[in-house]
Amino acid sequence: MRTSKSIVCWTAVAAALGCSAAHAAPQAFVQSDGNDGNTGAGCPSSSPCRTFQAALSVVDDGGNVVALDSGDFGMVTIKQSVAIIGNGAAGIVVPGNGYGSTIGVTIAGKGINVVLRGLNIGAVGLGGTGVYLKEGKSLQIEKCVLSNFFRDGLEVAAPASVRIVDTVMRGNSGNGASIRGGATADVVRSQFMGNGSSGLSVTADAAGTTSAVVSDSVASSNGYAGFFVNAGDKSALGRMVVTGSTAAHNTRAGFLSTAYPGEAILTVGRSAAARNGIGFWQIPSPVGGLSSIETMGDNSVQGNGTAATGVVVAVPPM
């Protein structure tokens, strides 16, 4: 009798597991006239869900959530590896709550890999932050627009690997993108325009290195600096290497390096600083930090209020 009962029990468990697995799929879909009640069917293209969050609940770890048309598919919290794929018009509208603390996409999962592609993520009112990476292994943002947020378009606050490609971050009251927490960022063919603080900000706020490598990108008309690197921890190193890029019409500086009180190094080559308050600005640290700007000697610096302030070191090419 014990054997029979065990068989019955294990059969029930297996059936339950089988039912659970049947609801997971490599792809789940959303559509502007979809219904989140379709989660029971797994949100297939024939019966899509209405929101990214609902579709995420039924997709495999490492799977895709795909938008079939344009529309607002709702704020989403991601705790598993996934690619959320739009068509350039699909997106997320982030409402304000009076405190500027709402977030379009929150990434908070240990060891997860997230891709955001072809999404328009924007705020109305005091919508706080476009994309916030609190925890995760990697984040790729491709062909997206992050705009009009009360804080930052993108905030990375963990030691993740970040890739930003063909993306626009504009009109945010804070930074276009803020990279900190030991993250490593690669930025290619992207634009940081009209943000209230800096276009791209790298802040080493914890022991170790926080860094970004930027190529073929533009930071323009930002309220503070175009490309900004800072070290805010005495055991931290902030690094940014910028090549083939332009910093223009930024209120304070095109390229800015400072350290309070760690070490910050900004290296610039084959790039332009045009019509900024200061083209290259190295701010000496009053608290024992070390900041520096290295130029490869092949940059164009024209029409700025001041070409350079502080120490700018010419590094000969190899």
pLDDT tens sequence across 129-173: 999 999 999 999 999 999 999 999 999 999 999 999 999 999 999
Look at residue 14 and tell me whether its pLDDT is greater than 90.
Answer: no
How many angstroms separate the CA atoms of 108 and 113, rounded?
Answer: 10
Q: Is 104 exposed, middle or buried, given 0-12, 13-18 or 19+ CB atoms closer than 10 A?
A: buried
Query: Does the structure show a pLDDT above 80 at 57?
Result: yes
Rounded Cα distance, 210 and 236, in Å: 8
In this prediction, residues 184-213 reach a mean pLDDT of 97
Q: Give this prediction's pTM.
A: 0.92
As a whole number of angstroms, the distance between CA 81 and CA 237 comes to 29
Decide: residue 28, CB within 10 A, 0-12 exposed, 13-18 middle, 19+ buried: buried
For the stretch 20-35, pLDDT in tens is: 334 579 999 999 999 9
Percent with pLDDT over 90 in the chain: 85
Look at residues 166, 71, 81 and name the one whose alpha carbon lies nearest to residue 121: 71
Domain boundaries, the chain: 174-318
Work out the mean pLDDT of the chain and round it to a whole number: 92
Range scoring the smallest mean pLDDT among 95-99, 234-238, 245-249, 257-261:
95-99
Higher pLDDT among residues 232 and 155, named by residue: 155
| Predicted local confidence at residue 23, as pLDDT | 53
pLDDT band at 18 (very low <50, low <70, confident <90, very high): very low
Give me the residues paired with residue 193 across strands: 170, 220
